[in-house]
């Protein structure tokens, strides 16, 4: 026993072997107990969260599960160092490492909170507001960028770096980078403009010049559109906002003008009856509002009528179905009334 006691009381780097063993025991105990506690609390809260309708317990459970290995290990090392008489340099290094571990773990928790908030909002509003996916995805990126920038600056300040001079240098360098990356930055700001102003969102059917399709993705630099023929169209965000965009998904109703011509041999009484006949046919259809029908002008080979009606739905297929029914009914009624449609004809007069 005396030999064992003498051995344990031997000094190694200003601490006895017994104190070193005690530090190792404390390190292992704190690490494994905290690891088990985090795992146990995570499971308990996840099960409890599934039984409630509130989202706060879901967030707490997710934060606990996001507690990282390096943070628990550094915390355990710090607790173990408290029983040792370490040189001031070593104690300072351990404290700085602990602060950096806290900052990194805080960044992980902050990122988790941002992601949880964005995902929760999008799930609630997706059915009512399709713009949520675009807007909050961009906002999430900006918030994460700000958070990690602050963490990096605080970490450098903890390490003794003069962040005032660093920020000044980054500002000068940022101007140079901004000049060299004008195109990329203009697309980035255009993306933010799309997210905030919402000229279109994912799922909208848009027309840009002679190109058209459904918006699939709004990124930081480009917007991707699936065309009617199947290929993917990729637009630069900056160029896209400079174009005139027609958004058909935000159409509440569709105005439909159409013309038809009858032959010059049509009697005047039948010409007078044609606007009323067209009105009767249009008003017999569902989801349609009649606007007008008139004898428009005398054409080269026909007497022309113009009619206008509104389809009370933006759906293109429904519009085409209604137009088809109206055309068929007009053809049947004209045949029944003995009214002939005109087609291009020419009469030649020959003289000797």
Given 84, 112, 128, which residue is the final one in a domain?
A: 128
Which residues are CB-neighbours of 37 under 8 A, at least 6 positions away? none
Residues 178-193: tens digit of each pLDDT: 554 556 667 777 777 7
Say yes or no: 39 and 115 in one domain: yes
- 43, part of any domain: yes
Say yes or no: 214 and 123 in one domain: no
Given 247, 272, 292, which residue is the final one in a domain?
A: 247
Residue 242 has pLDDT above 70, yes or no: yes
Say yes or no: 202 and 282 in one domain: no
Residues 194-216: tens digit of each pLDDT: 777 788 888 888 898 888 899 98
Residue range 159-183: mean pLDDT, rounded: 60
Say yes or no: 40 and 117 in one domain: yes
183's tokens: 């195109």
Say yes or no: 29 and 108 in one domain: yes
| Predicted local confidence at residue 324, as pLDDT | 95
| Predicted local confidence at residue 59, as pLDDT | 77
pLDDT range class, residue 325, cuts 50, 70, 90: very high
Contacts 24+ apart (CB under 8 A), 279-285: 279/307, 281/326, 281/329, 281/330, 281/333, 282/307, 282/309, 282/326, 284/329, 285/322, 285/325, 285/326
- 159, part of any domain: no
Residue 329 has pLDDT above 90, yes or no: yes
Which structural domain, as residue segments, surrounds residue 310?
254-337
Say yes or no: 116 and 92 in one domain: yes
Say yes or no: 198 and 93 in one domain: no
- 179, part of any domain: no
Spatial distance between the Cα atoms of 75 and 98, rounded to a whole number of angstroms: 7
Nearest to 19 by CA among 74, 81, 79, 90: 81
Portion of the chain with pLDDT greater than 70, in percent: 81
pLDDT range class, residue 259, cuts 50, 70, 90: very high
- 139, part of any domain: no
Residue 114 has pLDDT above 60, yes or no: yes
Torsion region of 261: left, alpha or beta (phi above 0 gives left; psi -120 to 50 gives alpha): beta
Say yes or no: 224 and 266 in one domain: no
Say yes or no: 215 and 282 in one domain: no
- 164, part of any domain: no
| Predicted local confidence at residue 163, as pLDDT | 66
Q: Where are the beta strands (DSSP E) in 117-266?
A: 205-208, 211-218, 222-227, 232-236, 245-247, 254-262
90's tokens: 């070593």
Q: Which CATH number does the domain housing residue 227 bear?
A: 2.30.30.60
Say yes or no: 260 and 319 in one domain: yes
- 144, part of any domain: no
- 55, part of any domain: yes
Number of structural domains the chain divides into: 3
pLDDT range class, residue 268, cuts 50, 70, 90: very high
96's tokens: 């700085």
- 349, part of any domain: no
Given 199, 216, 247, which residue is the final one in a domain?
A: 247
Residues 288-297: tens digit of each pLDDT: 999 999 999 9
Say yes or no: 274 and 205 in one domain: no
Say yes or no: 55 and 85 in one domain: yes
| Predicted local confidence at residue 169, as pLDDT | 59
């Amino acid at each position: 026993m005396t030999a064992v006691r003498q051995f344990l009381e031997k000094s190694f780097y200003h601490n006895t072997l017994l104190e070193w063993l005690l530090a190792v025991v404390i390190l292992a105990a704190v690490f494994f107990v905290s690891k088990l506690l985090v795992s146990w609390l995570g499971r308990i809260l996840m099960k409890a969260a599934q039984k409630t309708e509130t989202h706060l317990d879901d967030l707490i459970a997710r934060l606990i599960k996001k507690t990282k290995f390096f943070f628990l290990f550094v915390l355990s090392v710090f607790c173990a160092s408290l029983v040792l008489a370490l040189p001031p340099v070593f104690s300072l290094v351990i404290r700085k490492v602990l602060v950096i571990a806290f900052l990194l773990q805080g960044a992980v928790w902050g990122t988790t909170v941002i992601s949880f908030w964005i995902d929760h909002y999008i799930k609630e509003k997706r059915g009512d507001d399709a713009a949520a996916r675009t807007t909050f995805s961009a906002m999430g990126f900006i918030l994460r960028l700000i958070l990690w920038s602050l963490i990096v600056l605080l970490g450098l300040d903890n390490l003794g770096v003069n962040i005032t001079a660093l920020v000044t240098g980054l500002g000068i360098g940022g101007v140079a980078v901004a000049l060299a990356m004008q195109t990329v930055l203009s697309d980035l700001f255009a993306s933010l403009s799309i997210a905030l102003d919402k000229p279109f969102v994912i799922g909208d059917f848009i027309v840009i010049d002679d190109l058209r399709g459904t918006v699939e993705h709004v990124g930081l630099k480009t917007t991707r559109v699936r065309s009617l023929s199947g290929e993917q169209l990729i637009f630069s965000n900056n160029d896209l906002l400079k174009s005139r965009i027609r958004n058909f998904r935000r159409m509440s109703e569709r105005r439909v003008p159409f013309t038809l011509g009858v032959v010059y041999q049509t009697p005047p009484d039948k010409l007078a009856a044609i606007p009323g006949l067209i009105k009767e046919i249009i008003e017999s259809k569902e989801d349609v509002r009649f606007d007008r029908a008139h004898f428009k002008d005398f054409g080269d080979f026909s007497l022309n009528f113009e009619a206008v009606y509104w389809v009370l739905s933006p759906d293109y297929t429904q519009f085409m179905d209604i137009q088809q029914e109206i055309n068929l009914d007009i053809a049947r009624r004209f045949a029944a009334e003995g009214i002939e449609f005109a087609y291009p004809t020419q009469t030649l007069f020959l003289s000797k």
